Chains A and B, each alone.
Chain A
Amino acid sequence: MPFIPHTPDDVQVMLAEIGAESIEDLFDEIPGELRVNELDGVPEGVSEMEMLGLMSARAAADVAGVCFIGAGCYDHHIPAAVWDLTARGEFMTAYTPYQAEASQGTLQLIYEYQSMMAALTGMDVSNASVYDGASGLGEAALMAMRANKKIKSRTILIAETVHPFYRETAQNIARHQGVEFKTIPVAANGLVDMSALDEVGEVTAVVVQQPNFFGLLEDVDAMTDWAGERGAFLIAVVNPLSLALLKPPGSWGSEGADIVCGDGQPLGIPMASGGPSFGFLCCRDKLVRQMPGRIIGRTEDLEGQPGFTLTLQAREQHIRRGKATSNICTNQGLLVTAATIHMSLMGACGLKQVAERCVAQTHKLVTALVSIPGVEERFCGPFFHERVLNLPRNSETVVSMLLEHGILGGLPLGEHYPGMEDALLVCATEKRTAGEIEHYRSALQMCLES
């Protein structure tokens, strides 16, 4: 019996102790008409070897080639030590650290994580993670609603240059509480159309992504000050890797951002079809009681030795029930473990070098691809590690053709931005070599000539 250790003798001993004839007797309180025996949709069980055979064949079928897709999930190198340590059973098979004395490993690690995220974002505090960047934005929006008591409107402005899936997810999470999202349109240069801001009335918060979905750098100082002058919160959606190089949200404008969220995937998490990854959420000290999710604090034990424990739990659902800041319970603890180890290994210098190399490789990629007649950069402003290219034909068609050359060429934008059917969002991380970039160039040239 897979994973069940009982011998027939064990079962007899246990039934005798209980005073039951059979295991079936233990279900005698369940009304007979509810009992089922049919599970036709579940196949016969197989050994681990056979299971791995099937799964290996499926995994191998998806090895597609060199990845030039970004759009919220990036192909970075992960130091070997990250997952060697993260996959230790002591981290992987522990529960939420409710029994603090038996969970000091996880608790101290999350405290270190909170410290690293606060440092990276330039904010005062971080929680212990939320599910992913997109749902984190939903939580950030609800948090702003609770915390910004000066503004009575239930409107949040969100830039059209924020990841389309983030916008959808955040709206789907927050709309049940009467939150209305208004989109600030994208201007021809691929950035937030600041002129459209003048017509907006009272808003609770403004959401801006840096670098934005097109890889461009927004004028975050101006956006932050615009929000601050109107009593609106500034919610920053950021790529954590970029913060080793770019100005952190805590330093945006004259006052800095109020809430910062994003996806931690670039910090040591494999792409793995987009999950599990983790969402991070950081804020100013004064907002910490409106923060959803778990938070770890340092304290002392009864001998005065330092130790770590869950704190501010009265915000959470297991105590506050219907009045909690969120219903979130389980978060993404193991991915936070990986990210903490990753950040420790890389340090500020290591992350900055990776970020710089991503920028450099993307420049090389763009230079190589626009050398092909008909391929152009769609926007001209400064960018991080993604770029939108205009192709001479439908980008989705081109992406399919590139697959035959072992190239995952990027994300066609037509589905997300009507009118951009020929546009392609490309990305080169530090992993992309000169050879791979040249291979992409020649493959694209062939596809466009065919």
Chain B
Amino acid sequence: MKKNAATIFELGKTGRGAMAQRVPSGGTPANIPESQLRKVQPALPEVSELQVVRHYTNLSAKNFSIDNQFYPLGSCTMKYNPRGAHGAASLPGFLGRHPLAPEAVSQGFLACLYDLQEILKDVTGMQGVSLTPMAGAQGEFIGVAMIRAYHEARGDLERNEILVPNAAHGTNPATAVMCGYKVAEVGLDASGDVDTEALKAAVGPQTAGLMMTNPSTCGVFERRIREISGVVHDAGGLLYYDGANLNAILGKVKPSDMGFDVLHMNLHKTFATPHGGGGPGAGPVGVGERLLPYLPVPMVGERDGVYRWMTEKDLPQSIGRLSCFMGNAGILLRALAYALMLGREGMHRVGEYATLNANYLASRLEKAGFELAYPDRRATHEFVLTFSKQAKSMGVTAMDFAKRLLDYGIHAPTTYFPMLIAECFLIEPTETETLEELDAFVSALAAIQREAQSDPERLLSAPHDLPVRRLDDVKAARELDLVWRAR
């Protein structure tokens, strides 16, 4: 791989440009006063079209991606992103549709959204779904805002606290705070389940709700979920389901049956839409009956085969609009295309084969001498491995194993999360990987383990074969260099 890190700016020359993209300008507008015009041109690159194509093609080659590598990032569900779904969302009629086009010329798009709402209702067991949230974290925000609206509408104004298990994603407490709540954390017992005694002690008249994932971020299914939902409901709180791990139970368990009142789904995880190097996602929310009036707008309604937007006029208690138009519409179309191809049977298989792959991998790694964080539990769609022993005996950390895996052409699993397990990997193979790929992963980790014994420096200084060696993130934070300047 090329080790050149010249930026696009450095490739440019004054007066150069992609001239096929220039349009006849029409001249400096006479109506705009001089004081409103820009005096100095912005320092954008001055490069030819070929230079642009070559530069970004070469940059793309410096990325790991699902299309290139096994990418077993825990809690991220890096499964195959079907090209057909991308093709469907890229149809000219969808790409060219203006968000404010009248309903009469939007029936195709509206029908797609309506179908997706119905499918998501069924797989979660919820009574209503709104598709507007643009990512999981925004879905969480909207979900907790609905919990708040519910309590406020009942005049139940003393509830000021959201409970989260301490293994939760950081978005959970951050969301609760954004919604004006205090956060109280609840611990886990030794087997990875929520400590229900601690939970009972924590709930009270201040409890607005509990946010949790199930399976949890520890890669185990919370067995006492019905008891937990009972405890929270008895205290007058509501239950929020963080759908980050829905892939584990898709088609197997409906969050509504576990007692959840509101949830979000990460379509960029469970419904195979591409992660795009950090987004876009889509985080539709679903609610049970109690929260139906508060769903965010716009939603899509149907009568006699005619689809229409539902706004605050239809839903006067709605928590309102949280995106300019209809969220990440194109991602919703991809998710629908995926769901249509999977169908009912395919939906059941997602959770089944994701679980099969994870348990197979966990079993093989354990036999290869690696330590599972919860050896007595079934893995769900993911599981936690801990390198505490290696860190103590050989001085190599989970991070060193992770960086060395990159040299083997495998993207590292999630590292150091959940935070309560030391030196850990959270590994999620997903259902779309072959047996051979899983075996290769085991072989790679075993080889690295041997290296750790014979030549630990090989790990400590990894990666060796990537476009860059290990990066100095302390320097990055201490000597901030966030924008390119001519130098």
Interface bits A180-223 vs B (CB < 8 Å: 1, else 0): 00000000000000000000000000000000000001000100
B62 CB contacts on chain A under 8 angstroms = 103-105, 108
A to B contact number (C-beta, < 8 Å): 703
Q: Which of B27-61 contact A (CB under 8 A)?
A: 27-29, 31-33, 35-39, 41-47, 49, 52-53, 55-57, 59-61
Q: Do the beta carbons of B378 and A329 come within 8 Å of each other? A: no
Contacts of B402 in A (CB 8 A): 99
Using Cβ atoms and an 8 Å threshold, which residues of chain A touch B221? 29-30
Q: A23 contacts B352, CB within 8 Å?
A: yes
Taken residue by residue from 129 to 146, chain A's Cβ proximity to chain B (1 for < 8 Å, 0 otherwise) reads as 101111100000010000
From A11, A172, A353, A400, B321 is in contact (CB under 8 Å) with A172
Given A19, A271, A276, A320, which contacts B363 in the complex, CB threshold below 8 Å?
A19
A299-B475, A411-B100 known; A26 vs B94 contact (CB < 8 Å): no
Known: A30-B253, A42-B123, A275-B330. A173 touches B278 (CB 8 A): no
How far apart sit A79 and B47, CA to CA, in the bound complex (Å)? 14
Which of A43-51, A228-236, A437-445 lies at the interface? A43-51
Of B137-145, B230-238, B451-459, the stretch lying at the interface with chain A is B137-145
Contacts of B323 in A (CB 8 A): 131-132, 134-135, 169, 274-275
Determine if A288 is an interface residue (Cβ-Cβ < 8 Å): yes
> A400 CA to B279 CA in the complex, in Å?
36
Indicate if the CB atoms of B65 and A104 lie closer than 8 Å: no
List of A residues within 8 angstroms of B96 by Cβ: 63, 67, 75, 270-272
B329 touches A (CB below 8 Å): yes
Contact of A39 among B33, B41, B122 (CB under 8 A): B122
Mask for B60-98, Cβ within 8 A of A = 1, else 0?
111111111001010010111110101111011111111
* A149 in contact (CB, < 8 A): no
Q: Among A57, A115, A288, A352, which residue has the most Cβ atoms of chain B within 10 A?
A: A115
A-B contact pairs, 15 of them (CB 8 A): A10-B434, A18-B360, A69-B101, A91-B63, A105-B61, A131-B134, A131-B328, A270-B96, A274-B324, A307-B471, A321-B174, A328-B137, A330-B268, A337-B277, A343-B44
Among residues of A, the one whose C-beta sits closest to the C-beta of B482 is A125
Q: Is the CB of B23 within 8 A of A354?
A: yes
Kindly state the separation between the CA atoms of A223 and B325 in the bound complex, as whole angstroms.
28
Interface residues of A in 47-84 (CB under 8 A from B): 47-48, 51-52, 54-65, 67, 69, 71-73, 75, 77, 79, 81, 84
Report whether A61 and B343 are in contact in the complex, using a CB–CB cutoff of 8 Å.
Answer: no
B433 on interface, CB distance cutoff 8 Å: yes
CA–CA, A91 and B274, complex, Å: 9
B137:A327 contact, CB within 8 angstroms: yes
Chain A residues with Cβ under 8 A from B38's Cβ?
A: 243-248
Also in contact, A301 and B326, with CB within 8 A (given A63-B96, A272-B97)? no
Q: From B73, B97, B470, give the contact of A301 (CB < 8 A).
A: B470
Task: Indicate whether A44 sits within 8 Å of B47 (C-beta atoms), given known contacts A331-B135, A382-B31.
Answer: no
**Is B63's CB under 8 angstroms from A276's CB?**
no
Please name all residues of chain A whose beta carbon is closer than 8 Å to the beta carbon of B337 when the two chains form the complex.
51, 55
Q: Which of B117-164 contact A (CB under 8 A)?
A: 118-119, 121-123, 125, 134-138, 140-141, 145, 148
Known A-B contacts A4-B431, A18-B360, A43-B343; the reply to A90 vs B65 at CB < 8 A is: yes
Q: How far is the CA of A265 from the CA of B16 in the complex (A)?
A: 25
For residue A88, CB closer than 8 A to chain B, the reply is yes
Interface status of B177 (Cβ within 8 A of chain A): yes
Closest to A164 in B: B321
The answer to the question of A263 belonging to the interface, with a C-beta cut-off of 8 Å to chain B, is: yes
**Closest B residue to A89 using CB positions:** B67
Contacts of B122 in A (CB 8 A): 39-42
Q: Are B280 and A102 in contact (CB under 8 A)?
A: no
Given contacts A3-B82, A102-B466, contact A344 B8 (CB under 8 A): yes
CB-CB < 8 A to A156: which residues of B? none
B413-452 contact mask (Cβ, 8 Å, vs A): 1 or 0 = 0000100000000000001111100000000000000000
Segment touching A, from B102-110, B284-292, B384-392: B102-110
**How near does chain A come to B11, taking the closest CB pair, in angstroms?**
9
Q: Taking A34-B253, A301-B468 as contacts, is the C-beta distance between A331 and B279 under 8 angstroms?
A: yes
Which residues of the partner chain A approach B63 to less than 8 Å between Cβ atoms?
Answer: 90-91, 94, 102-106
User: Across the interface, which residues of A come within 8 angstroms of B109, CB to CB?
Assistant: 58-59, 62, 273
Contact B57 A93 (CB under 8 A): no
Q: How large is the interface on B (under 10, 10 to 19, 20 to 34, 35 or more residues)?
A: 35 or more
Chain A contact patch, size range: 35 or more
Asked if A2 and B360 make an inter-chain contact with CB atoms under 8 angstroms apart, the answer reads: no
* A312 contacts B477, C-beta separation under 8 Å: yes
- CB contacts (< 8 Å) of A303 on chain B: these are 469
A306 close to B477 (CB less than 8 A): no
Min CB–CB distance A13 → chain B (angstroms): 7
Say how far B263's CB is from chain A's closest CB, in angstroms: 15
A48-B341, A129-B279 as given contacts; A299 in contact with B25, CB under 8 Å = no
Bound complex: CA A34 to CA B214 (Å): 12
Residue of A19, A33, A39, A357 ringed by the most chain B CB atoms within 10 A:
A39
Is A161 an interface residue when CB atoms closer than 8 A count as contact?
no
Question: Which 10 pairs across A and B sit closest by C-beta, in order of nearness?
Answer: A45-B343, A274-B325, A360-B26, A41-B122, A334-B276, A89-B67, A274-B99, A59-B93, A58-B108, A333-B278
Distance between B413 CB and nearest chain A CB, rounded to angstroms: 10
A352 in contact with B467 given A39-B122, A176-B179 (CB within 8 Å): no
How near does chain B come to A24, taking the closest CB pair, in angstroms?
8
Residue of B nearest to A27 (CB): B252
Q: Does B347 contact A (CB under 8 A)?
A: yes
Contact A347 B44 (CB under 8 A): yes
